[in-house]
Chains A and B, each alone.
Chain A
């Protein structure tokens, strides 16, 4: 074997090919880990790889599968590997500069959205928590139900949704910033300023709580008849995300899929296409309660839900147990700042929320509206601000 690290690198690359975020830095750590453990038995290799190449519980299954394949491909076993793997300890500085470079790219990439999310947008008291959507839309298209759009119109509406200016509501955080008046005394600044006046604290400073934009969470029903409406809301989510807001998007039919990452690309058409590919049960049945439960239970997204504005788009025709839906909606209501249910059926004047699922969910819904056309999306925006 020419280069003893080659199979290790190959394993890292294989994981990357399977979609795990394995960079050169991680592979380097993996090689050092194997060198450090010395032993070449299966367990050591397994754990060395698992702690250095995997960074999320969600990736563990993929890792296990890849590891099995790779280990079998080693054939006789890796004993010959480990003996030669007596790498010199790497000088710290080199590793850092290497990591640091590749890190800068990453941080630079997301820093924009971080900062945007934490922006100190000082809202005027009146317009606090108002989502304003300013649309330059053709009137007819605004009123036309999403389900009745032709392919061409759908593209035009999609573009209109992209032109929307989305302003999200804000929440106060525990962080503070300096202010000339406020409730908390800022000793640090007061002291600094007192130096100008021979140590007399004439000029007093205070701190006030900062505010930040509340996250927006979209939970979209993509089953059967709901698909056209959800696609429109998906566009809405994409627009909000492009504006640098904290947005999480989930799709569900029979089961829940998180599509936030997929939406985070530059090209909206490609993003929609990717989402369609990712979501297995696009236009299948509806299990709202179960899907919500998956969301509330497992995901690390609970923090994204906490204090968030949650928009759920579904016709409420639940195939599962309405009692489950009722309980999960109550949980959601306790976590979120505001729960909005957009039900396109409500667009029909004769609609009454008699579906069992809808009736079960309604007690936990702050705002119930239609969301079946562009105009109603504006209503939705107004409702969020209330």
Chain B
């Protein structure tokens, strides 16, 4: 087990809080265990609950490099692991004398022609890094299987260069928005935590921590309104990120409390779906708590 900078879960939680990330007991335990057991942590939850942020704060906290692999449809090994710099190779080939072919290949596939992608970078950095595999659900099954292999071994063999090994594996955070169920084999490799929307008090604290210039009263108004929005039957429920955006927008306009007029003007920073906006507009008084 790797040496840990934190004696227990509470210490980790405090440290996170000092970096303006307020984690509840469950999340802090999950992170603590992920670090101490050396297992990747799979975070799921609705958009905007701070999944990606966990990795960023963790990197800051541990004073490690954050290596981010953003997944997308069609991502494959050459975009995630490594690639050769073909343009450079082509030029090098043209510049070479006609020596024997074998020698040339060896020259061409040396480290100076290797383009490092996030996964290779993470393997090389080992425990100097926090690897964030973001939105894995966007990639396809095949990539997931490939990633599983990497996460199991933390080693990769590049035929032309040799084996690259991580002496001690990096901390790994995997996030998913659950647009697709991840495969069991991958889940089995990871610890799992579902991040829920925070309760009202915590959300107020989060807004205050993340946007210090927002007044206490405004922060509470906004958090309350967002909590009511989440109870409405929206297609896209606002996340914590939207709460912070909204509070920021209102503070920028000089607001000290939230009211119906301001809410209409700034609704776009919290409700981002046309049909949802219609629904909210109709019940705005209720949302901002003006109907008594």
State the A residues within 8 Å of B (CB): 21, 23, 25-26, 29, 32-33, 36-39, 43-44, 47-48, 50-52, 54-57, 60, 89, 92, 96, 99-100, 103, 106-107, 110, 114, 117-118, 173-176, 187-188, 190-191, 194-195, 198-199, 201, 297, 300-304, 306, 327, 331
Per a CB cutoff under 8 Å, which of B33, B89, B190 touches A191?
B89
Which residues of A lie under 8 Å from residue B44 when comparing CB positions? 57
Are A47 and B26 closer than 8 Å at their CB atoms? yes
Are B188 and A26 closer than 8 Å at their CB atoms? yes
Residue B253 lies at the interface, judged by CB distance under 8 Å to chain A: no
Are A103 and B188 closer than 8 Å at their CB atoms? yes
Q: Knowing A103-B188, A188-B84 are in contact, say whether A29-B152 is a contact too (CB < 8 A).
A: no
Chain A to chain B contacts (Cβ below 8 Å), 27 pairs: A29-B39, A32-B37, A37-B32, A47-B25, A47-B30, A48-B29, A48-B33, A51-B34, A51-B191, A55-B184, A55-B187, A55-B190, A57-B44, A89-B1, A100-B152, A103-B188, A106-B184, A106-B188, A173-B74, A173-B140, A174-B72, A174-B73, A191-B89, A191-B90, A300-B181, A303-B180, A306-B179
Report whether over half of chain B's contact residues are helix, strand or loop; otherwise say mixed: helix
Residue of A21, A32, A117 most packed against chain B (CB within 10 A): A32
Within the assembled complex, what's the spacing in Å between the Cα atoms of A198 and B104? 10
Q: Knowing A26-B188, A303-B180 are in contact, say whether A96-B152 is a contact too (CB < 8 A).
A: yes
- Which B168-210 residues have a C-beta within 8 angstroms of A? 178-181, 183-185, 187-194
Which residues of B lie under 8 Å from residue A57 when comparing CB positions? 44, 178, 194
Are B25 and A43 closer than 8 Å at their CB atoms? yes
Residue B141 lies at the interface, judged by CB distance under 8 Å to chain A: yes
Closest-CB distance, A63 to chain B (whole angstroms): 11
Binary contact readout B214-246 vs A (1 if CB under 8 angstroms, 0 otherwise): 000000000000000000000100000000000
State the B residues within 8 Å of A (CB): 1, 8-9, 25-26, 29-30, 32-34, 36-39, 41-42, 44, 72-74, 76, 78, 84, 86-87, 89-90, 93-94, 96, 98, 101, 104-105, 108, 137, 140-142, 145, 152, 178-181, 183-185, 187-194, 235, 275
Are A29 and B37 closer than 8 Å at their CB atoms? yes
Within the assembled complex, what's the spacing in Å between the Cα atoms of A381 and B164? 51
Closest-CB distance, B187 to chain A (whole angstroms): 4
Residue of A38, A47, A52, A89 most packed against chain B (CB within 10 A): A47
Which residues of A lie under 8 Å from residue B78 when comparing CB positions? 188
Are A44 and B29 closer than 8 Å at their CB atoms? yes
Within the assembled complex, what's the spacing in Å between the Cα atoms of A23 and B41? 18
